[in-house]
Structure 1
Amino acid sequence: MPKGVLLVNLGSPESPTPKDVKPYLDEFLMDERVIDVNPVLRNIIVRGIILNTRPKRSVEAYAKIWWDEGSPLIVISERFTEKVRQQTSLPIALGMRYGTMSIKNALQELKEQGVDEVLLVPLYPHYAMSSYETVVVKAMEVQQEHFPEMHLTTLPAFYSNPEYVNVLSKSIAEGLKGFEYDHILFSYHGIPERHIKKSDPTKFHCKIDGQCCKTNSVAHHTCYKHQCLDTTELVKKALDLDETKVSSSFQSRLGSDPWLQPFTDKEFERLAQEGKKRLAVITPAFVSDCLETLEEIAMEGKHQFQEAGGEDYIHIACLNDRDDWAELMALWIKTWDEKGTLPETRVH
């Protein structure tokens, strides 16, 4: 069976304008795995409330980070894809979960190259309903409806893969070089607590009580919080970081329901008020810099930290199109192609 690879990232509006941002937000927020309430209520929340106020703020935010070449996330993803292509003989297509660079178009591209066995690669290190899972479900729906002759194999969440941890740790070490930090904050994308419980196959392990993430369970295979905290621990160990100078937090909450804590913006205030003057922030939930990392963390986060009394602040870039990251993805693809095996992952 001719093989090919489909890389999938989040997506982006076509431009930082209301005519493009509003439909993009509509597609994103109407995803039942992003706002997981009944369809009628979701329609009221999204189209009756959020889309009447949020697009203006989002347009302003996108305008701050937009590159001459286009959306940073799209440009970075395309550069990464091209680097991977140069190191593998298989056809590789790039799609987005939301926006015009659709999964359907990417699968069509592979079909036109004769591919009928596809390695699906959600470009998210961790498992979450609103990121990894929605990519997998959408790809399967599109495949079954439009490409029934294709077979999909999905790359597992790779947050704990030793080679990935090595690449991530190396990029962080390079980002920290020459910066005498008082603290390092690992800021992960936030999700509602109910997502954690919905993803728990045991339906009882995940209590979000500060202890369940430390107790081994099959639930950790789909527990976003555990996987994020594990990433911090793995990098901390790899770089031999001082335990007292490292912590984790969660950003980008929406609405009034309970979300994972501590909140990143509150941590900026707390750390500054505790006398931490020099802060480094890392965003390992993303492999590509995007609106959340470039505007919310690199810009707004710096402002929040300094307003609270902090002084020096750096945001360490995501892996983006680093050569070693592209080489690792190409290695995973080659191993799947030649041996039929996927990257080693481990649940701690």
Structure 2
Amino acid sequence: MSEQSIDNNIQTRPYGVLLVNLGTPDEATPAGVKRFLSEFLHDHRVVDMNRWLWCPILHGVILPIRSPKVAKLYQSVWMDDGSPLMVYSKRQQQALSEQLGVPVELGMTYGNPSMLDGLDALKRQGCERVLVLPLYPQYSRTTTAAVFDKVAKVLKARADIPELRFVNHYYDHPGYIAALAESVESFWQQNGKADYLLCSFHGIPKRYADHGDPYPQHCNGTTALLAEKLGMPREQMSMSYQSIFGREEWLKPYTEGTIRELAQKGVKRLDVICPAFSVDCLETLEEIAEGCKEVFLEAGGESFNLIPCLNDNPAHIDLMASLVQQHSQGW
């Protein structure tokens, strides 16, 4: 066989894409939420406390108390076809597969469909090469690294594993920044421009960043690039961290406190965008759109809006396609 024939044979071997997000309960019930939170909060990447200390707290206190409360929150945002995160993720999967013309499967870090489900589905379609695309623009040990761990774990039992490539981050990708800017500008065209734009990112314990997690640098980078793309003066735009959990200090400033301070300083109309979330979910639709809106109005603000996540917007699918094409070169 000639060298050219070998090259052609290698390049025609099929590849597929595994889209990965955090995951979601299968149903908005205390039992469903408890199963999901148990798997999520058992991950050492998420909570690194000694298991002998953490497991009794988790199973004896946190899960029994939080599961019914969180289930009610999920019920308030649940869609006809299921959890918002799952509904939008499936739309992303379908749109990206149609645009690329290659198999694209979902695999959640926690819950269903599992990472193993996604990899098995790609294997059944003959994919010998897999590009893993975690839908976390900003890298963190709690998200992106957890995906890497889970992929390695589920493939450990296989005799044959696919050739793998892994997207580490895309917080500063021009297509990502352009998609964010387009979503903001489109929202303002339809609803009018706000006095202030706040970028709210999911928080992580400060200790993780102190030990080398680059997440805050990535969040700062995204915010600065978005401000530049929008031509926004920084006195009218800033960033904060939401979804704080437990008593440990997390990255600051906290979103709820920031929103309260902005209202007290005279900001009447506030728009919030959540760039770390690739799809709308409990943390955006309930925590921000409902909870933080209430905080802002009670503190003296007059108008509060959540700018939707990128979800399955065409510009977002274009970005994903660009990432796949970039990282699959030579395949």
- TM-score higher than 0.5 here? yes
Once the two structures are TM-superposed, the CA of residue 41 in structure 1 deviates from its matched residue by 1.6
Name which of 171, 176, 188 aligns with 1:176: 188
Could you tell me the TM-score, scaled by structure 1's length? 0.88
Residue 145 of structure 1 aligns to a residue in which SS?
A: coil
Matched with 1:197 is 210
| Alignment match, 1:275 | 266
Q: Which of 79, 85, 90 is equivalent to 2:102? A: 90
Q: Within 2, Cα distance between the matches of 1:337 and 1:260?
A: 34
Q: What is the Cα deviation at residue 316 of structure 1? A: 0.3
Which of 47, 50, 64 is residue 35 of structure 1 equivalent to? 47
Change (3 A) 1:144 1:152: farther
- Aligned partners of 1:142 and 1:19: how far apart in 2? 25
2: CA distance, partners of 1:45 / 1:147: 38
| 1:88-127 alignment runs, 5 A limit | 88-127=100-139
- Would the aligned equivalents of 1:176 and 1:316 in 2 still touch at CA under 8 Å? no
- For residues 221 and 322 of structure 2, the distance between their equivalents in structure 1, rounded to whole angstroms, comes to 24
**Alpha-carbon distance change, 147 to 87 in structure 1, aligned in 2, over 3 angstroms:** farther
SS state at 1:253 partner: coil
Matches within 5 A, 1:9-158: 9-146=21-158, 148-158=160-170
The whole-number CA distance in structure 2 between the counterparts of 1:237 and 1:334 is 26
CA contact (8 A) 2:310 2:316 kept: yes
Match of 1:227 among 195, 218, 222: 218
The 1-side partners of 2:83 and 2:202 are apart by 19
2:271–2:307 Cα contact (<8 Å) kept: yes
- Asked if structure 2 preserves the Cα contact closer than 8 Å seen for 1:91 and 1:113, the reply is yes
Aligned residue type for 1:243: R
CA contact (8 A) 1:95 1:101 kept: yes
TM-aligned CA deviation for residue 314 of structure 1: 0.5
AA partner of residue 76 (structure 1): Y
One-letter code aligned to 1:42: W
Mapped contact 2:206–2:251 kept (Cα < 8 A): yes
Q: Offset of 1:54 from its aligned partner?
A: 0.5
Q: Which residue of 2 aligns with 1:218?
A: none
TM-score, length-normalised on structure 2?
0.93
Given that 2:45 and 2:142 are in contact with CA atoms closer than 8 Å, whether structure 1 keeps it comes out as yes
- Stretches of structure 1 that go unaligned for 5 or more consecutive residues are 201-221, 341-348
- Gapped regions of structure 2 (runs ≥ 5): 1-12
Deviations 1:36-87 (A, max 9, x none): 1111122122112211210111011001100011100000000011000111
Q: Which residue is 2:5 aligned to?
A: none
Question: Are 1:176 and 1:280, in contact at CA under 8 Å, matched by a contact in 2?
Answer: no
Give the Cα separation in 2 of the matches to 1:184 and 1:33: 31
- Indicate yes or no: 2:222 matched with 1:255: no
Q: CA deviation at 1:339?
A: 3.7
